[in-house]
């Protein structure tokens, strides 16, 4: 009795790693890709926590309830703010000044200009280039002291301009002294509406006469 032989198929072996890509990638390119090496990254050494703090953590349970307060602005004005305010007030005072009102309504008695200073300090004079101005026929001329006539004439200021400058500068010096600040030339230039160089000359004359300091009564 003859037995029929059934052909057996060869055993199926799993594909190797290379055979997996045989149908997709060129073997030469695959070998180059597999042989490519990548540089190793160095690990950064880190300091480990002490043994007694490992596995522990801290949490502030009240941090949510605490509100960050914004810094409050001080309601007390600074010396600089007071000085800037005094400059503005003096400039407005110069523009709206009424010479018909006497000086003692605005200036304290110890700050009133002492006319005897012209005799005590006769060397004090204004310096200005140019010919002195004849102001004898201008309004308010009779209100000036003879020493003030020379100052206004040399600086080529009308009597009205001079009187307004005198009152404004002395009032500003009084306000600066109240704020415990020094009254400088640059401060005086912002208080009147005349040439800044003439204002500087007036500041020098009034300061030399002692009008920027309170007098002893």
Distance CA 15, CA 18 (A): 8
pLDDT of residue 43: 65
Structural domains counted in the chain: 1
> Cβ distance 149 to 173 under 8 Å?
no
pLDDT of residue 204: 95
> Cβ distance 176 to 210 under 8 Å?
no
Q: How far is CA 137 from CA 144, 153, 157, in A?
A: 13, 12, 13
pLDDT of residue 3: 58
pLDDT tens-place string over residues 197-214: 999 999 999 999 999 999
In 109-195, alpha helices (H): 117-120, 146-154, 159-178, 185-188
> Cβ distance 124 to 203 under 8 Å?
no
For residue 103, what is the DSSP state? G
Is 113 inside a domain boundary?
A: yes
**If you compute the radius of gyration of the chain from its CA atoms, what whole number of angstroms results?**
47
Is 111 inside a domain boundary?
A: yes
Is 199 inside a domain boundary?
A: yes
Is 119 inside a domain boundary?
A: yes
At a CB cut-off of 8 Å and minimum separation 6, what does 192 contact?
Answer: 91, 94, 164, 165, 168, 169, 199
Which residues constitute the domain of residue 143? 88-96+107-216
List the one residue out of 103, 78, 72 whose CA is nearest residue 165. Answer: 103
Q: How many CA atoms lie within 13 A of 81 on its CB side?
A: 5
- Which of the residues in the chain have pLDDT under 70? 1-91
Distance CA 52, CA 121 (A): 85
For the whole model, what pTM was predicted? 0.59
pLDDT of residue 85: 46
pLDDT tens-place string over residues 40-64: 666 666 666 565 555 555 555 445 4
Is 155 inside a domain boundary?
A: yes
pLDDT of residue 195: 93
Residue with tokens 């695959």: 30
Is 17 inside a domain boundary?
A: no
Is 7 inside a domain boundary?
A: no
Is 179 inside a domain boundary?
A: yes
Q: How far is CA 5 from CA 2, 8, 107, 159, in A?
A: 9, 9, 139, 145
């Amino acid at each position: 009795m003859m037995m029929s032989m059934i052909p057996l198929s060869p055993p199926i072996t799993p594909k190797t790693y290379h055979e997996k890509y045989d149908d997709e990638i060129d073997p030469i390119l695959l070998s180059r890709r597999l042989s490519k090496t990548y540089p190793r990254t160095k690990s950064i050494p880190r300091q480990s926590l002490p043994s007694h703090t490992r596995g522990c953590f801290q949490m502030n349970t009240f941090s949510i309830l605490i509100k960050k307060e914004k810094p409050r602005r001080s309601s007390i004005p600074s010396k600089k703010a007071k000085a800037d305010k005094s400059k503005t007030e003096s400039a407005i005072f110069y523009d709206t000044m009424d010479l018909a009102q006497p000086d003692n309504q605005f200036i304290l008695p110890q700050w009133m200009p002492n006319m005897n200073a012209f005799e005590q300090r006769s060397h004090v004079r204004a310096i200005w280039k140019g010919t002195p101005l004849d102001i004898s026929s201008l309004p308010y001329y009779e209100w000036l002291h003879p020493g003030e006539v020379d100052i206004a004439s040399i600086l080529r200021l009308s009597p009205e301009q001079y009187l307004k400058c005198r009152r404004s500068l002395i009032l500003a010096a009084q306000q600066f002294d109240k704020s415990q600040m020094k009254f400088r030339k640059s401060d005086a230039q912002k208080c009147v509406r005349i040439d800044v160089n003439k204002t500087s000359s007036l500041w020098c004359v009034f300061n030399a006469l002692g009008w920027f300091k309170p007098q002893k009564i």
